Amino acid sequence: MSLFKLFSCCLPVQKSKRNTVLDSPNAAVSTVVVSPPTPKIQDVFLLDMPDLVMREILKNLDFLTFQKLRKVCFSLRKFIDFVKPDSNLKEILIEVRADLITGSVKGQQIKTIKHAYKEHDDECEMTINLHKGKVIEKNFIDVFADNFLWPLLENQKSPLDNLFLIEQNADELNMKVSQTPGKLLVPTFENVFDCSMKVLESTGRILQVECLKISVLGQDQLMKMLRYVDLKFLKRLEVYRLAETESRVYNEYILDLDILENCEKLEKLCVESFYLSSSFSLFTHIPVLRVNMQIIYCEEVIQFQEVSQFDLCNSFNSNIYRH
């Protein structure tokens, strides 16, 4: 629904001032008629409508309209934040690099919208759909959290098709935007990750996501994320180790994924740059696997072959599976 239609339905309609006496065919020409005083039209505000009507209106609005309404006045923003209407989004994609955060959203009623938050000295240059950037006197991570992260995740109640929180691939970067010299990725990503966890914790509910793709430093971050995801609803999980410049100890490259034991709907599991310490038998019900196991037994491989129609002989003759 457009903002014009939304507000036009709330505007008062002024009645005609035409006198019905003068319209009568029997009225004398010389008759002097004193018109009654025109009733004073009161200002009608959107929030003066019943609460139930307001909530029904909000159910039919998209995420962009919510964002525009929140900027109209303090009262509307306070009401929307109190009601927390569903954002009705299907995809949320967050990509992070050392000095840039990009967020893309897509819903049933809206096409893909891309936000970019670029570090600009001690300020933030915010761009929406590649339009001219707006400089805000605030840290770029804080601007991203206030303008993108909180409104999205806090009000997302319907199931998501895709939720990505990943490191931005260097090959996909716009080469016109130069990287800040000496700026490290890990501190920026950790701040964005912590902000995301605070938002999810504040909602008091878990997200229903079909496909979750996430970059992490290790076990702790992954477990924090999975705590806010409905694992019984999850169908695809992809986990990638965050690239970093500093050396780390070997045990930080090991993940324990016993938490996925009862994920009956899981159809794909991809874990890269980590070794799994869990038993392979926990994953044999998953048709599509791309993992590195610390220990694996022949019985488990045979069990996986029976479940996934895995061609064991041809696979071990391939360099891809030999490792």
Listed by start position, the domains of the chain span: 44-84, 86-246, 267-323
Instruction: Output 213 or 45, whichever has higher pLDDT.
Output: 213
pLDDT, mean of residues 23-46 = 54
Neighbours of 221 (CB within 10 A): 20
Which pLDDT value is given to residue 11? 44
286-304 exposure pattern, b = at least 16 Cβ within 10 A, e = fewer: beebebebeeeeeebbeeb
Lowest mean pLDDT among 120-134, 189-203, 295-309: 295-309
CA 186 – CA 225 distance, rounded (Å): 17
CA 108 – CA 170 distance, rounded (Å): 30
Q: Helices then strands (H, E): number in the chain?
A: 11, 12
Which pLDDT value is given to residue 26? 53
Which pLDDT value is given to residue 62? 65
CA 141 – CA 192 distance, rounded (Å): 7
Could you tell me if 253 and 275 are in contact, meaning their C-beta atoms sit under 8 angstroms apart? yes
Q: What is the pLDDT of residues 171-226, one digit of tens each?
A: 444 444 556 666 789 999 999 999 999 999 988 889 999 999 999 999 999 999 99
Lowest mean pLDDT among 36-45, 93-102, 180-189, 193-202: 36-45
Q: pLDDT grade, residue 264 (50/70/90)?
A: confident
Q: pLDDT grade, residue 20 (50/70/90)?
A: very low
13 pLDDT more than 80: no
Which pLDDT value is given to residue 34? 59
What phi and psi, each to the nearest 5 degrees, are found at residue 282? -70, -20
Mean of all residue pLDDT scores within the chain: 78
Q: What is the pLDDT of residues 62-83, one digit of tens each?
A: 666 766 777 778 777 777 777 7
Q: pLDDT grade, residue 145 (50/70/90)?
A: very high
Q: What's the pTM? A: 0.72
Could you tell me if 90 and 106 are in contact, meaning their C-beta atoms sit under 8 angstroms apart? yes
Residues of the chain with pLDDT > 70: what percent?
70
Question: How many residues are listed for the chain in this entry?
Answer: 323
117 pLDDT more than 90: yes
Q: Token pair of 200, please? A: 């999810």
- The strand pairing partners of 212, in sequence order, are 163, 237
Could you tell me if 182 and 233 are in contact, meaning their C-beta atoms sit under 8 angstroms apart? no
Which pLDDT value is given to residue 56? 73
Q: Token pair of 171, please? A: 């090959």
Largest CA distance in the chain: 111
